[in-house]
Structure formats: structure tokens, C-alpha cells
């Protein structure tokens, strides 16, 4: 590792420790906010791992997330809790692979539409299974506190960062950047583009499912309508794009201001939260095409920053 990488690692570890101590120095209010931010940070960062380099906009986050909450809902009494996010991640990855095999050969808008429909499809399948089996509403009553959920999410976040860093250095990451720039060139260079895309699409699928599994004890009552709420997918996309997908830390730079702003708007003008989502999107398209990351890089270039 170079000196710069070691420096970055130390900074990241320091920031992580600072976050992990939030329950110690922060008020319960900030712990609740922190849990929400950690959730979105994990979801948006893992989303950007795939959608950043490939430019495939995935709206399937809610589908994976919902599957994860149902894994916990079904399994928390029979299995130790630590096993549930792992199982959820496995199911999420398999589901992502299946979806990827079907859709990632298609390009652009087909993929977007399919992933949007997928959350609804999975919701209907879950409901159908419940109906067939006469299954009742699920109550996830555990002794898991918000603090523990927060730490679990932080741990998952650290894993996602590590994974992102490794992928960025790997042949897979390189292949995906080529695919993102020009898929035809990538094919002609001998890259198995479908395989590379499917492999990477499994990452956000697994992470979102694990996140859902961790958050189920927070919701207590699991029902398909809230577990698969499509709004989640859009929030993740907007936050990630606002921060910028060009760098690993980009999505978090979008998550934090967006979550704070959402909170302020909820307090002051509760009916306008969806408007915020729309305005943020316009802002990204017209002013910040590269998100905050793009802005940062532009400013650094202009004012002669280096390093």
C-alpha cells in the first residue's frame, strides 16, 4: 500500500470510530437520525458500487430490502439473530443474479423499468404465498435496541466500503468502468460484459437485503405494503446521485445533507417532502451532473488543488 492509501485508511477508521461512538455522546434524537442516515448510507453506497461505473439505474432497492425484512420476520424465532442478515444477503444475491441474468443483457431503460416493477412483483408473490398458507401478520418482537441496529448498520457500512475499495482495484472494477464508458468496446476487448454486470449487481442486492433484515426489529410489524414501499428505491437513487457516484465517499456526501433537509422539511412543511425529492433531482440534472463529488473535483481543478 502506498503512503496515501495508508493515510486514507486511517482517516476512514477514525471517522468510523467517531460514528460508532455516537450513542455515547449523541442524544437519543441523534441516534434515531443516525440510524436513518446509516441505513441510507449503506443502501446508497452499495447502490453506487454497481450503478456508478455501469450507469445502469437500479430501482430494485425496495425489493431486496423487503425480502430482507421478511427473512427476519420469518426466521427470528427459530434462528440466532446474527444469522438472519447473512441468510438475507444470500437470498438477495441469488435474487439479484436471477434478475441480472434476465435484464442486464438489455440496456438502459428496460433495466430501469424492470427493476421498478420488481419490487411490486416480489410484494405480490409474498402476499400470494401468505394467502396460500393462511399466514398471519408478522410481529418481530425482539430485545434488540436501536443502538444495536445502528452498530450493525455501521459494521455493514464498513464492509461495503472495504468491498468497494477492493472492487475498484480489481479486474472486475476495471472491466465495469470500461463497460460504463462504452459497452461495445468492452465486448470487443474480450470482456464478458453480462457476467461482469451480473456479478456486481449481486452486491447491492445482498447488501440491501441484509439492511432490511437488520431493520426489521425496528419496524416490529412487517407487512408487504410498508416493507416494499417503492419510495425507498427513489430516495436511495436521489441521495447517491446528489452525492455523486464517482468516488466511494460520494453517496454519503449526499445522504447526510439530504436526510437533514428531509427532516427540516418534515417539521416545517410536511406535505412538501416529495417536492424536495423532485427539486433534488432537477438540481442534479441541471447543476450537479456529477453530484457533490463532481463539484469537489471541479473546484479542486480550478483552484489548483492537487494530491
Residue ranges binding other proteins (CB under 8 A): 27-29, 32-33, 36, 124, 127-128, 130-131, 134-139, 141, 145-146, 218-221, 223-226, 229, 231, 260, 263-264, 266-271, 273-274
Least spacing, CB of residue 205 vs other proteins, in Å:
21
DSSP β-ladder status, 221-222 and 138-139: antiparallel
Least spacing, CB of residue 28 vs other proteins, in Å:
6
Would you give the distance in Å from CA 63 to the centre of its chain?
12
Instruction: Identify which of residues 39 and 88 has a Cβ nearer to other proteins in the complex.
Output: 39
Residue owning grid cell 416493507: 227
Least spacing, CB of residue 172 vs other proteins, in Å:
33
DSSP-based three-state secondary structure for 305: coil
Asked if 75 contacts 67 with a C-beta cutoff of 8 angstroms, the reply is no
Residue 170: closest CA among 56, 49, 86: 49
Least spacing, CB of residue 222 vs other proteins, in Å:
9
Q: CB-based contacts of 179: which residues, under 8 Å, 6+ apart?
A: 53, 54, 186, 191, 193, 196, 197
Instruction: Identify which of residues 145 and 170 has a Cβ nearer to other proteins in the complex.
Output: 145
Instruction: Identify which of residues 37 and 242 has a Cβ nearer to other proteins in the complex.
Output: 37
Instruction: Identify which of residues 147 and 187 has a Cβ nearer to other proteins in the complex.
Output: 147
CB atoms within 10 A of CB 169: 11
CA atoms within 13 A on the CB side of 99: 31
Cβ-based burial of 172 (10 A; exposed 0-12, middle 13-18, buried ≥19): middle
Instruction: Identify which of residues 77 and 184 has a Cβ nearer to other proteins in the complex.
Output: 77
Asked if 248 contacts 161 with a C-beta cutoff of 8 angstroms, the reply is yes
Residue 202: closest CA among 50, 42, 55, 40: 50
Instruction: Identify which of residues 138 and 179 has a Cβ nearer to other proteins in the complex.
Output: 138
Asked if 187 contacts 136 with a C-beta cutoff of 8 angstroms, the reply is no
Check residue 189 and report its DSSP letter.
T
Instruction: Identify which of residues 70 and 292 has a Cβ nearer to other proteins in the complex.
Output: 70
Least spacing, CB of residue 115 vs other proteins, in Å:
20
Least spacing, CB of residue 19 vs other proteins, in Å:
18
Least spacing, CB of residue 243 vs other proteins, in Å:
19
Amino acid at each position: 500500500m502506498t503512503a496515501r492509501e495508508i493515510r486514507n485508511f486511517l482517516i476512514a477508521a477514525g471517522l468510523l470510530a467517531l460514528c460508532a461512538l455516537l450513542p455515547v455522546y449523541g442524544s437519543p434524537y441523534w441516534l434515531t437520525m443516525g440510524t436513518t442516515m446509516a441505513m441510507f448510507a449503506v443502501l446508497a453506497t452499495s447502490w453506487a458500487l454497481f450503478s456508478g461505473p455501469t450507469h445502469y439505474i437500479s430501482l430494485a432497492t425496495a425489493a431486496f430490502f423487503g425480502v430482507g425484512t421478511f427473512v427476519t420476520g420469518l426466521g427470528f424465532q427459530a434462528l440466532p439473530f446474527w444469522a438472519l442478515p447473512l441468510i438475507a444477503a444470500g437470498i438477495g444475491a441469488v435474487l439479484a443474479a436471477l434478475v441480472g441474468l434476465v435484464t442486464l443483457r438489455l440496456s438502459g431503460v428496460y433495466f430501469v423499468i424492470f427493476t421498478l416493477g420488481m419490487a411490486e412483483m416480489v410484494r405480490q408473490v409474498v402476499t400470494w404465498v401468505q394467502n396460500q398458507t393462511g399466514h398471519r401478520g408478522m410481529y418481530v418482537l425482539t430485545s434488540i435496541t436501536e443502538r444495536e441496529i445502528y452498530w450493525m448498520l455501521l459494521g455493514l457500512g464498513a464492509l461495503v466500503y472495504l468491498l468497494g475499495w477492493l472492487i475498484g482495484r480489481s479486474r472486475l472494477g476495471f472491466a465495469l468502468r470500461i463497460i460504463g464508458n462504452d459497452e461495445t468496446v468492452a465486448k470487443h476487448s474480450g470482456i464478458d460484459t453480462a457476467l461482469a454486470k451480473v456479478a456486481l449487481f449481486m452486491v447491492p442486492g445482498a447488501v440491501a437485503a441484509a439492511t432490511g433484515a437488520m431493520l426489521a426489529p425496528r419496524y416490529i410489524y412487517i407487512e408487504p405494503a410498508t416493507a416494499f414501499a417503492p419510495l425507498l428505491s427513489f430516495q436511495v437513487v436521489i441521495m447517491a446521485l446528489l452525492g455523486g457516484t464517482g468516488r466511494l465517499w460520494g453517496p454519503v456526501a449526499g445522504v447526510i445533507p439530504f436526510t437533514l433537509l428531509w427532516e427540516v422539511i418534515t417539521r416545517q412543511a410536511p406535505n412538501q417532502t416529495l417536492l424536495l425529492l423532485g427539486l433534488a433531482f432537477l438540481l442534479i440534472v441541471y447543476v450537479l451532473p456529477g453530484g457533490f463529488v463532481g463539484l469537489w473535483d471541479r473546484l479542486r481543478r480550478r483552484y489548483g488543488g492537487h494530491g
